[in-house]
Structures are given as C-alpha cells and as structure tokens.
Amino acid sequence: MKSKKQIVIIGNGKLGGVLRTALHKAGFNVRAFGRGQKPDVGDADIVFIATQDQNIAKTAKSLARLEWKKGAVAVHCSGSENSDLLSPLRRKGVFTASCHPLQSFPNLKSGLRALPGTYWFCEGRGRALATMKPIIQKLRGKMVTVKPDQKNAYHGAVCMAANYLTTLVGASGDIAAQIGLRESEFRAALAPILHATLRNTIAIGPRAALTGPIQRGDGVTVQKHQRAIKKLRNNSRDLLGVYNALYKYTKVMIDN
C-alpha cells in the first residue's frame, strides 16, 4: 500500500540510490535530485540530504531559499556531523535531524541487501525524530538516539571498529608478505579465525572473547613479536607502532 508521505532525496550517490530504491519499495512516494538538478521540495513531508559531509551546509543554505511545506522534516545522513548544519532550514520552520545508517553501501545491490536490520543513530528535534522513527521501522531498521555533541565520538567509535579492522588486516598482510607469504593466500587463511573472533566478540563481548598471548599473560611471546616486526625491511616503525598501541590498550581492556 502506497504511503501518502512525499519524500525527496538530495544526492544521487551510493547512499542516495539505496534510500531512493528502498523507500520506493517500502511504499513511499520518492523523488531524487542529483548534482546539477534543481530540487523541488514544495510538497515534501521529508527531505533526506544524502550528499557528502562537506556539501551538507551549502545544500541546506540553498534549500532554505525554497518554499517548504508546513511541518516538513529535513534530515541529513552524516555519521560525524549533527543537525546544526541544517540551521538555515530550522530558522525557516523546518524540523531538523541527523540520522546515520550504520551500514556500508559499496553499491546498490549489496546496499539494499544490507539495509534491513541496520541501526540508525539519530539526533535532532523531537518532531523530526518522531517522524523518522516509523520511516526507519518501515525500512526494517532500528533507531538509536544520541546527543548532538556525541556525534563525533560515536562516528570515531564506528570508524575504529569498521574501517580500522580493514586496516588491521592490511597491516597483518603486510607483515606476512614481507616474510614470503602470499598476501591473498594469507587473507584466505585468516578468514575462519577472523569470522570466529568477530562472532564471539559480538556474542559474549570483547573481554570474554579475547584469546592469545596477552590474555594468557605471556609477555615473552609479545616481546618476540615486537623484535620480529622491528626487523622488517618495510614500514617496520609504523607496524610496530600499531602493534604496541593495540597491545597497550588490550592490557587496559583486560585490567578493567
């Protein structure tokens, strides 16, 4: 059944494409405007601003020159920025919020497959959040509210867990390649233990899931690792820095 709500999406990138398709499939009336197109928001109940972070404020300023429907809601999708970027629209009487879907959208097909079950971290005015909650539920997501001044710390936590996990696998592969192992084969060899570690960490928490020499209190093995990494020909200082930083925080995590 079609919803009567009119939704406009500003931004035709990966996230914008996923939102446009998912909202349309969920029964909403959706229009999307990309770069170079003049948006029409006059009848919109909800406007998603799905541009790059550096363009959100400029987009909001431009949209504030247009006529808006009374009671309309504007939402941007940045992970690190809060809804203050939409202050030109707020001054115009538009209800504003930021809602970040905690998911990766590399392309349309995988993004649509991953979107159901996604947590959306949101902050903003009560009316805007009340409007967004059923939209997110319709997309089979879950809303979590954060305070405006918490957005950067929240996004830092996300990047540490998601982006830097990729970095860690890359650093591990660098060490493996320098001792003569094929990096692609080493990644394949890591896959079972990485999947198991992630499953255990999510299921029982990081402290209970931790294994290995630090958890056993085996400082001798840790020192052997450090000496071996220090002897590498390429990137040894950076790789040792990563290892030592993780070693120190792992000890903090265990002690707490």
pLDDT at 256: 87
Instruction: Please tell me whether residues 184 and 223 are part of one structural domain.
Output: yes
Based on the domain organization, do 229 and 182 belong to the same domain? yes
Domain membership of residue 156 (yes or no) is no
Task: Let me know whether 57 and 92 are in one domain.
Answer: yes
Q: What is the pTM of this model?
A: 0.88
* pLDDT tens digits, 79-97: 999 999 999 999 999 999 9
On whether residue 212 sits in a domain, the answer given is yes
| Residue 24 identity | H
In terms of domains, do 201 and 118 share one?
no
Please state at what angle helix 163-178 crosses helix 183-204, rounded to 10 degrees: 140
Residue 204, pLDDT score? 97
pLDDT by 10s per residue, the chain, length 256: 566 799 999 999 999 999 999 999 999 999 999 988 999 999 999 999 999 999 999 999 999 999 999 999 999 999 999 999 999 999 999 999 999 999 999 999 999 999 999 999 999 989 999 999 999 999 999 999 999 999 999 999 999 999 999 999 999 999 999 999 999 999 999 999 999 999 999 999 999 999 999 999 999 999 999 999 999 999 999 999 999 999 999 999 999 8
pLDDT tens digit string along 211-221? 999 999 999 99
Q: What is the CATH number of the domain that holds 139?
A: 3.40.50.720
Residues 124 and 72 in one domain: yes
Parent domain of 200: 162-255
Residues 145 and 202 in one domain: no
> 198 to each of 81, 183, 206, 243, how far by Cα in Å?
28, 21, 9, 19
143 & 178 share domain:
no
How many structural domains compose the chain?
2
pLDDT given for residue 4 in this prediction: 79
Same domain, 182 and 228: yes
Question: Do 145 and 245 belong together in one domain?
Answer: no
